[in-house]
Amino acid sequence: MSNDTLQPVLYGALAIGASRSEPLVVALPLTLLFSLLFVLGVSGNLLTVFVSMKHKQLRRSMVKYHLVSLAAADLTLLLTIPTTVYRSYWEYYPWRMGDTMCRLYFMLRQIAYSATSWTIMIFTTERCYVVCKPIRALLFLRKSRVRRGLALIWFLAIASGIPYAFIYGAVPAFVYDYRKRKTSNFSIVVTTVCELFEPDPSPIYSRLTHFRCFGCFVIPVLLIMLFCGLIVHTICTSRGMPQLQCNPSQSLTYQPTLLRRRTRHQKAVKLLGVVVASFFLCYSPDTIASIMYISISDWNNPTVHYVYTAVKIYLALPLWYLNSALDPLLFSISSRRFRQACREILYCGPAESFLPPVSTVRSQQQSHIMGHAWPHASQGCDTAQSLSPARATEIEKVVPIRKSCETSSKREVSVEHTEDDESVVGGHDGGDRTAVALPADDFVGDATSK
């Protein structure tokens, strides 16, 4: 925001148009909002990391690496909230935290930005690969490869943040305070600010901003939308389970299961869409503000300055931090298994104390299915004796066929379902490589091959 009319006179120092602080009616509500985001976001992301590393089922799942990576990126950004509130709303000048803190502040924000974007992109890519190419995913996806991929993401994220430490710093400046000029004749203040000190036209910052906008936002968002579209297309066109070579009457048993699976996947698609939409909406204003900063040349126009301040300070910053605080909440909403794991960790009790065992739920579902097909079949031997001989013979024929179908299906593919198959962060446990054999089960799950 350089003031071109002052630069020739004040050569050797920054010439900036800014205000020392925001009005109390603006600063106080935003400080309360950021404080709430800080408390909820830090506690929620720490809980995500702790649960992912300590809970037995999540610890054995490959998805834990994506959860931990995203939580680490969110924590990195959330830890800059105190500095953001202090600098943006209460005291822009003089800068009191030193040159090192200023450089570290801008570097950490870029690292968190890149790591968040690329983690979501690689997670969506992996889910698309599992759904669209399940057999190849079974052979390709390994925990070691996921770890190496996320390590590469963090290496690139740190590399993208290092240049910011060389173009930002605590530097002397002549600040043209456009708020102070209304109450004082001395509106130019000599002070120290934490700001970009690269001389105009700032070629390094301009290149970094283009990379930030396209490499960390536009391209990842387009790829995420493409992969989500492929996932939706595959789920909508797939028939679910392979047809079993049994009597057609077995469809009465498995049709509700197929419907439940399709419903679960539709929910998962919506939840993944919510995550992507949250990322897009919360990061768009910051991207727009960055483009404005490198595109505007006439900062002497008060209207231009006010518009930029409104977009950057009042809209982009709150939404940016809101996204980091929302991620743990989205995990909890989308995953029943994640909620159970949190209950176990927080209350030191087994998940079964909060939800009925899976075997109980499955037996109830099977009983309900049989009762729906033959209303008297689940009412005991006394009721069966009251049926006509033809009806009783029909039931006796179907029940063995149903058991045979279940046995053969378990040998061919893994069709075991838990209550959490719809979760975005769920997954099959252990090292069973057949867990990835079906796209319908693995849209939200994952293989856990070594």
Phi-psi region of 173 (alpha: psi -120 to 50; beta: other; left: phi over 0): beta
Is residue 168 scored above 60 in pLDDT? yes
Write down the pLDDT at residue 261: 55
Q: 154 pLDDT exceeds 70?
A: yes
End-to-end CA distance of the chain: 53
Percent of the chain scored above 90 by pLDDT?
31
- State the pLDDT at residue 33: 95
| pLDDT for the residue 259 | 62
pLDDT above 70: percentage of residues in the chain: 63
The CATH architecture that domain 14-347 belongs to is Up-down Bundle (1.20)
Better pLDDT: 316 or 262: 316
Mean per-residue pLDDT, 315-333: 86
Mean pLDDT of all residues in 338-353: 66
Task: Write the pLDDT tens digit of every residue in 357-378.
Answer: 444 444 444 444 344 433 443 4
411-447 confidence digits (pLDDT tens): 443 433 333 433 333 344 333 333 333 333 333 444 4
- Mean pLDDT (the chain, rounded): 73
Read off the pLDDT band of 251 (50, 70, 90): very low
Query: What per-residue confidence (pLDDT) applies to 14?
Result: 79
pLDDT band at 187 (very low <50, low <70, confident <90, very high): confident
Q: Is the dihedral of CA 142, 144, 148, 153 positive or negative?
A: positive
Q: pLDDT higher for 326 or 13?
A: 326
pLDDT computed for residue 271 by the predictor:
64
- Residue 446 zone, left/alpha/beta (φ > 0; ψ -120 to 50; rest): beta
| pLDDT at residue number 439 | 34
Give the amino acid at 426. Answer: G
Looking at residue 273, its pLDDT comes to 72
The CA distances from residue 98 to 80, 86, 190, 192, 205, in Å, are 15, 14, 17, 10, 22
Model confidence over 198-249: pLDDT tens digits? 887 788 999 999 999 999 999 999 998 898 888 888 877 865 444 444 444 4
Most confident of 11-25, 272-286, 374-388: 272-286
Average pLDDT on 388-403 reads 47
Q: What are the C-alpha distances in Å from 281 to residues 78, 102, 156?
A: 18, 27, 24
Q: What is the DSSP string of 426-441?
A: ----TT-GGGGS-HHH
Residue among 163, 171, 161, 165 at smallest CA distance from 2? 171
Q: Tell me, what's the pLDDT at 174?
A: 86
Question: What is the structure's pLDDT at 331?
Answer: 73
What is the distance, to the nearest Å, from the Cα of residue 343 to the centroid of all Cα atoms in its chain? Answer: 21
Instruction: For 94-127, write each residue's pLDDT tens digit.
Output: 999 999 999 999 999 999 999 999 998 998 888 8
Whether 144 has a pLDDT exceeding 70, the answer reads yes
| pLDDT > 90? residue 8 | no
**Can you give the pLDDT at residue 167?**
93
What tens digit of pLDDT does each residue of 30-77 get? 999 999 999 999 999 998 888 888 776 666 677 788 889 999 999 999
